[in-house]
Structure 1
Amino acid sequence: MMLYSHPMAPNALRTLVFLVEKGIEVPIEPVDLMAAETRTPAFLKKNSLGEIPVLELDDGTLIAESVAICRYFEAAHPEPSLMGATPVESAQVEMWSRRMEQQILGPIAQVGLHTHEFFAEKVEQVPAYAETQVRLMAKKWAWLDAELSDGRTFVCNDRFSIADITGMAALHICDFFGHPVPEGVPNVKRWETAMRARPSWKR
């Protein structure tokens, strides 16, 4: 198999961290985003949306979308569980993964989508909208801080999961666009420190 990826892309990073946490080694074909390699005819045959990551299996099957790729590897390699080992755990991890994507990753991703020249051909950029999302992030961090006020390290059941990995992708975007986690949210800061200390982050 082959994973087409690049750690600069948040969703690609999400899959790469997942694989490191699982201890799974997969051949990786780097895709140069800034050189527009995702927009070449050859790559568009693998993903018509021109996005990474894309997993190509030995039989030619193509799987795009980071969470879909993670689900494939979770099913193929159940341990350690990163998406829930029981029906209840799976539902709770899914709940928190969606929350981290919609409430944390989503708004900060919109900042990049509406300000970086790389995305100019993908969306009609509205810089003023990006400014609203920067302001919104303060409320989102405050929400997460309240959720983590019970002292837990990880967002779901105090066990590291794909929900935390989604949050790590958000931190990656924060770093790239210069919007760090603000002061005044000590519980989020505690979580952030734990995420950045993981070997998968350093990889």
Structure 2
Amino acid sequence: MKLYDYQPAPSPRRVRIYLAEKDLAIPTEQVDLAKREQFESDFAKKNPSFTVPALELDDGTVISESMAICRYLEALYPDPPLFGTDARSQAIVEMWIRIVEFNGLAAVADMLRNSSEHFADRALTGAAGGIAQIPALVERGQATLSRCFERLDRRLEGREYIADAFSVADITALVVVDFARWVKQEPAPNLANLAAWHERVAARPSARA
């Protein structure tokens, strides 16, 4: 297997943290998004979505999307479990992954891609050009992200982790909180539960992956 990665980007970081929690080592190859290497022929043929991460299997199959990669690896390496251990916990982990993806990760991406000069003509993920920015999405992204942080804070009242144990839901939320700094967004100071959780999760060795 080979993992196509880009060290600064949030989505590949989710997979790297997952791998670190599993103590798995997979050969990696960097695809420099800043240099637009994702649009070059070799990688573009492997992943026509032009995104990282992407996991190339030994038979040539390429799996893109962070959670698809983690799900594949979870089936191969179930211990320690990071998607829950039974129907209830698996559903809760899945629910919170989706909540944080849709209301956190997507919100930050909207803010970044619709405000940064780097994305002036490619405001959608994987677009090579011709996609104009929509400034109104920046303000909406700020509101959506703020609501996401507030919801996480309520969820973390009296809890160590988002689900019953450390899971991919925590990995996703950690990446979102850190990614938000790219657009100068932080959880509000009064969200003490979220702040304490972030301190705990960021202290895990895997967070440095």
- Per the normalisation by structure 1, the TM-score is 0.93
Partner of 1:184: 190
Equivalent residue in structure 2 for 1:196, among 190, 194, 202: 202
CA, structure 1 residues 174+131, in 2 after alignment: closer, same or farther (shift >3 Å)? same
Residue deviations 1:62-102 (CA, integer Å, cap 9, x gap): 11111000011100000000011222222221111111212
CA contact (8 A) 2:93 2:163 kept: yes
CA contact (8 A) 1:7 1:16 kept: no
Residue deviations 1:22-41 (CA, integer Å, cap 9, x gap): 11000010111101010112
CA contact (8 A) 1:94 1:163 kept: yes
Partner of 2:162: 155
Partner of 1:48: 48
Unpaired segments ≥5 residues, structure 1: none
Equivalents in 2 of 1:195, 1:95: separation in Å?
19
Same amino acid, percent of matched pairs: 36
Equivalents in 1 of 2:38, 2:178: separation in Å?
20
1:143 aligns with 2:151: yes
* Structure 1 counterpart of 2:81, one-letter code: S
1:113 aligns with 2:121: no
Residue deviations 1:131-151 (CA, integer Å, cap 9, x gap): 2211332222222212222x1
Unpaired segments ≥5 residues, structure 2: none
* Structure 2 counterpart of 1:125, one-letter code: Q
Q: For residues 7-18 of structure 1, what are the structure 2 equivalents within 5 Å? A: 7-18=7-18
Equivalents in 2 of 1:202, 1:48: separation in Å?
29
* Structure 2 counterpart of 1:172, one-letter code: D
* Structure 2 counterpart of 1:155, one-letter code: I
Equivalents in 2 of 1:4, 1:118: separation in Å?
22
Equivalents in 2 of 1:52, 1:4: separation in Å?
6
CA contact (8 A) 1:2 1:28 kept: yes
Equivalent residue in structure 1 for 2:170, among 164, 171, 183: 164
SS in 2 for 1:83: coil
Structure 1 ranges of 4+ moved more than 6 A? none
| Count of residue pairs the alignment pairs up | 201
- Per the normalisation by structure 2, the TM-score is 0.90
CA contact (8 A) 1:18 1:165 kept: yes
SS in 1 for 2:33: coil
Equivalents in 1 of 2:52, 2:117: separation in Å?
18
Residue 176 of structure 1 deviates from its aligned partner by 2.1
